[in-house]
Structure 1
Amino acid sequence: MNTPRCSLPDIIGSEDMLKKRRRKRRYATTGLRWKKSDLTWSIQNYPSLPPFLKPYEVDTIMTYAFKAWSDVTNLKFHATSSSEQDRADIKISFARSLHDDGYPFDGKGGTLAHAFFPGEADVAGDTHFDDEESWTYLDDSGTDLFAVAVHEFGHALGLSHSSSHPSIMRPYYQGAVGDIASYILPEDDRYAIQSLYGRKSSLSTPSPNHPTSHLPKPPSPPRPKVPSQPDPSVQNRCEGGFDAVANIRGDVFFFKGPYFWRIQRSGSLVSFHPALIKNFWIGLPPGTTKIDAVYERKTDSRIIFFIGSQYWVFKDTMVVAGYPRPLSDWELISHDGSEVKRVDAAFIWAHNGKTYIFSGREFWRFSEGLESGRRRPDAGYPRNSSLWKGAPSNPDDIITWGDGDAYFFKDNSYWILKSGGLDQDNVSHKSTAVDWMMCPEPTPTTLPANPRHRGECNCGLNGASQMSASSWLLFIILLLYPGILI
């Protein structure tokens, strides 16, 4: 469970998540803890982007972030000397993209930071912040370093995510939490950390490592700024019209323009702000402004991107040598004999493990093996996509998720075909913005004629994927339905 990234996904069904998004959950712990109460920490380097928090300001912020946890437990945190910084229990660094831990950052927005749980590995407790973020203190123009540090140190001490409000361990960034000198952990987080390390045995004077009366003054809040026009890409999160949607390693990625948003398998949106595709998927054309379709290949876990008349194959986040290749490899020929020039949707149907490619109002089925290169559709294709009754015949994209259900996305709505079944005439559309992007519910005057009942949340541990916990895949026993031959 030495897992990085803020967001530790729950192993729960996706439909359960959508039905129960608002059910409150108490704190969650990993069961991992440090076996000692005196812990050392060090800062390996400092942020490099404006507004350039000074090193002493970063030191102060980190000291107070640790103090939030030591104030309610018997834990003690000691900053190491420069000569001992590589021996610290918790090593703090600011890094970009690929940074030698197997968990690349995705640029501005998206995943802000990640931390490893306690354990025996060398990386246990280490905490990494994305250096492409603008780290600030009490400044809405950037990301508040103190708020994120308190959260990540919670993971480094063994806490998972909490859906309780106003827990600092909620799975997504909530903005600044106020003056660091007077910050107190919310009740839920106090109970959580005390369940691992016990309550503080007695009130004591500050440790020499935390001489609060001598700490440098926290960074001053910035002067009020003239409000700027919101980033259109952020506004578009609630407007729908995503170019592609893909289930990759159990997380759902929503692509729009040059950006993507990421939903952990727990149902948690990593960030309201999108990340740049080019900063995460290394090998796509630098000027990529639209992804047509994406899916993860079942046979070898390679990730396939379709853009225009070409496609790319990725191993994790790096393109495989020899790509891109022409879309003609797939031999997609329409009923009228014309060659398909662009793909609209691609997914693997859990019912039979086959790959389905959609273009226009037609779809093709593929029985993919481990072979590479030329591909040929199964006999009898293409077929008309209207066969998927209850779903749009020209979807923006499709994924299989949860208990083998097929999710069709179109504009700002989605449809669920239970267990991927075809003949489901009574399928109703749901709001992608509300259920996936955490946008406000529509007002009663704009609700659809038959609004579906919405339940409460059971999101629990947030999620950017983790390798031991986040690579846990849900192995679903699929029920085969005879007579479905598409």
Structure 2
Amino acid sequence: MGAAARTPLLLPLLLGLGLGPGPVLGRAAPGDPMDQGDGDPQTAAQVFLGRYGYFREGNGEGPSPDSFEDAVREFQWTAHLPVSGVLDAATLRQMKRPRCGVADAESRQAWARRVTARRAPRLRKRYVQPRANGKWYKLQLSYRLVNWPRHLPEGRVREAVRAAFQLWANVSALDFWEAPSGPADIRLTFFRGDHNDGLANAFDGPGGTLAHAFLPRRGEAHFDSEEPWSLYSRRGRGLFVVLAHEVGHTLGLAHSPARGALMAPYYKKLGRAAVLSRDDVLAIQNLYGKPLRGSAVQLPGSLFTDFEAWSPDGPGDQERSGVRGPHYCHSFFDAITVDGEQRVYVFKGGHFWEVGVDGNATGPWPLRTRWPRLPPRVEAAAVSEVDGKFYFFKGSRCWRFRGSTLEPGFPQRCQGGGVPRHPDAALFFGPLGRLVVFKDSRYFVLAEGALRPEPDYPRHLRDWKGVPPGVRGALPRPDGSVYFFRADRYWRFDQARLRVVGTGHWASELAWTGCGDANSGGALF
């Protein structure tokens, strides 16, 4: 192979940018305790440990070396890390993980009992003893959803809230009902930044602190509205599991040291295992007793990983609900692409819509009526401008269709060729004649035939100046611009100016997405 063939296949629009080293990934958001050390990891860790209650009463001059080491040890034990007292890389990474904003200090007695239980098996149960005002003295409680993330449909969010309360009712004597307005025992509210809970409790944007709650009987749970909340299992921040955790706090539960517990301090994604661990069940039953109707029913996490699937989009659903326009206009989509005739295809769950050049959307239709053997909830889609073939990506697999015919050899495992698992978005980039796949803060240029990354890829997303990481859709437009989507927003990238030149809300501003009718009245928000 000649030297010319080995030259990196750089995007023409990016030539001459003189790109330098990229930023450190995973940096804590401004306002996060781990971002408050002026670049010094130990100072940042000291702020973090102080915020979450790992220091005993001090003299106001900061912790001594011994108390700092003890706090690090206790944090490492709580986080199931090797206990050394040394502020190593693994400990710092753990401190930066998304978590609940409630301090861990309330769980000290539980953790001490758990340490003792290692030597005394009869003490293995975690019974969190309620403080004064640390539990409700009634079993029928009302709750109210004050507001919700604007990019999520209200009905689905209410389902997630209802399921979060029912999760605890299934294993205790508690019973819950929703108060649509007026006073309620427990109120759930989404806030941004400082919301009058004290500067230490101000939200910090995506990552860091996700939410916090107050023990009975204040009855409040607050959620960071800037998080990429999602009702899907693999997209954004799973709202249901955070709701269920914070509801646990409003019922009187402190953080748990058990690795698989829902009440553990750190965010977790749901799998097939039960949402509540035995530790969670014992704790709630110690406060409120066992279920009044039969035995406790443990529910698997797989029941809650996709609330959209509870009510699949069908041709008559919107008419019955009174919501105007396609359903995706009031929430978000799984993937979006455009063909050579400028027909836009929007994918959500097991259905798709087709939007003509006039901006009118038709559908939804089941995916498999057009693309047999294509699974629901595809994660990225693109159409080749060379031959009109459709490419779909989900998990580690990819599909290629000519018309409605799946080509031989597909689906295939694309990960083995270097394509990332669970890609965020894909598009066919005309100037290169190549597919481009995006994943987090990187992008991959693929050769269509073999679906393998070209040499010197992946590259950092900073090449696309102004495009945020974690986009959920991308497509080119006839004027040469490229549109990127995430949640309810879009970013317009101008090739001539080599940067993002506009941003806004796609459903209300981009008529070619098929949402014009949704904005003419009767919209959900």
TM over 0.5: no
Q: TM-score, normalised by structure 1?
A: 0.38
Q: TM-score, normalised by structure 2?
A: 0.36
Task: Kindly name which structure, 1 or 2, has the bigger radius of gyration based on alpha carbons.
Answer: 2
Greater relative contact order (Cα < 8 A, sep 6+): 1
